[in-house]
Amino acid sequence: MSDLTITNIGTIVSGNITAPITPGDTIVIRDGKIESVGGSPGPDGVEIDAGGATVIPGLCDNHVHPVIGDYTPRQHQIGFIESCLHGGVTTMMSAGEPHTPGRPKDPAGVKALAILASKSFTNLRPAGVKVHAGAVMLEPGLTESDFAEMAAEGVRLVAEIGISGIKDADEAAQMTRWAQAHGMRVMVHTGGASIPGSGVIGADFVITVQPDVAGHTNGGPTALPLSDVEMILDQTEAKVEVVHNGNVKAAGAVAALLAERDELHRLVVGTDSPAGSGVQPLGVLRTMSWVSSLGGIPAAIAVAAATGNVANLHGLDTGTITPGAEADLVIVDAPLGSQADDALGALSIGDTLAVAAVLIDGVVRVRKSRNTPPPVRSIGIPQ
């Protein structure tokens, strides 16, 4: 892999919530990893001139529902993952594969599906996007040894609880303890029902289960009362998710609540797509702009909620612009015609960012987004 340097960067947004902006104008990449940030250009290799634009970490969508490959039967759409890459997404975390045609609902079947989806996306990255799939859908009859077996085969996620056969909070809590003991991250669906078959879940259920993430607290698509979000924050350690497929007003309210409590490190962003609401290639970009503009959150913090916070939750080496991290980067800018001067300004007034380039593991995957408006600045990327 060739070395690469990005120069002339206007703002480096780190993805790290405790220090969201890194001083300097240069990022040096070697062997697919970030070698240095802020300092002077490397001696050789390809040079990208950012033209004063902003660089953020590759976006990590904390909530997707993939199946196998780059196809979603839910909306009969091919290429949705590649389309999301053009919205700056370089990592996707599965919240379950419920849209798999004829999906099994017995213990052997859900285990097989989780292992298959996990291994399939490990072997195949659609358009280069790192899809972490194989989130087991909990069904009655699963035992602790099933979780041990799945963990040994690489399964790291439990699908949002509430959309599968386990509806009882105590049963869900027992399986959550087993999953967490084997290193899996567990999400609970919250709020109203999403599609027929899913349930209505409030704070009491989440508090009994004690998951790693309270999924789509702004609704998937119908939001919890904000008082329930407060109870979850008070009585669990869970991260709190805000998604594109939810209630827009509630997205701002949850973000503002976290800011007021000085707990923005618990905020994670996702899309919850593909779903009934469709496929949203710009869903993470738009949710960041809601969090910032409606929640009154500094734009660089909104970026961290969709990058470093998600990576931190899942123990990934992406999501931050720090030496040693995987070189998953997005060059962004204010969209042409924006009333703001730069990317962070655009987010804070509710605009959707312009994506000028996307890199995964130091390789340029997108030269100009086919889905966002064009950037104000001109960015020089050698062929």
The residues that touch Zn ion, with contacts defined as CB under 5 A, are 160, 189, 194, 220
Phi, psi of 331 (to 5 degrees): -90, 120
Q: Six-digit token pair at 210?
A: 């004690």
CA-only gyration radius of the chain, Å: 20
Least CB distance to Zn ion at residue 80 (A): 18
Least CB distance to Zn ion at residue 271 (A): 12
At position 170, the amino acid (one-letter code) is D
Least CB distance to Zn ion at residue 203 (A): 16
Give 344-347's long-range contacts (Cβ < 8 A, gap of 24+). 344/11, 344/13, 344/54, 344/298, 344/299, 344/300, 345/299, 346/289, 347/288, 347/289, 347/292, 347/293, 347/299, 347/302, 347/303
Q: Six-digit token pair at 114?
A: 């989780």
Least CB distance to Zn ion at residue 218 (A): 12
CB-nearer residue toward Zn ion: 179 or 346: 179
Least CB distance to Zn ion at residue 272 (A): 6
Least CB distance to Zn ion at residue 255 (A): 19
Least CB distance to Zn ion at residue 325 (A): 30
CB-nearer residue toward Zn ion: 39 or 73: 73
CB-nearer residue toward Zn ion: 160 or 351: 160
CB-nearer residue toward Zn ion: 25 or 160: 160
CB-nearer residue toward Zn ion: 134 or 220: 220
- Residue 219's alpha-carbon distances to 169, 197, 298, in angstroms, are 19, 16, 23
| H or E segment to which residue 286 belongs | helix 283-295
Rounded to 10 degrees, what is the CA torsion of 353, 133, 176, 184? -90
298: Cα separation from own chain's centroid? 19
Least CB distance to Zn ion at residue 195 (A): 9
- Residue 280's alpha-carbon distances to 24, 125, 126, 259, in angstroms, are 33, 19, 16, 27
**Residue facing Zn ion at closest CB distance:** 189
CB-nearer residue toward Zn ion: 189 or 314: 189
Contact 234, 275 (CB under 8 A): no
CB-nearer residue toward Zn ion: 238 or 325: 238
| H or E segment to which residue 369 belongs | none
Contact 218, 254 (CB under 8 A): yes
CB-nearer residue toward Zn ion: 85 or 133: 133
CA–CA gap between residue 224 and residue 144 (Å, rounded): 31
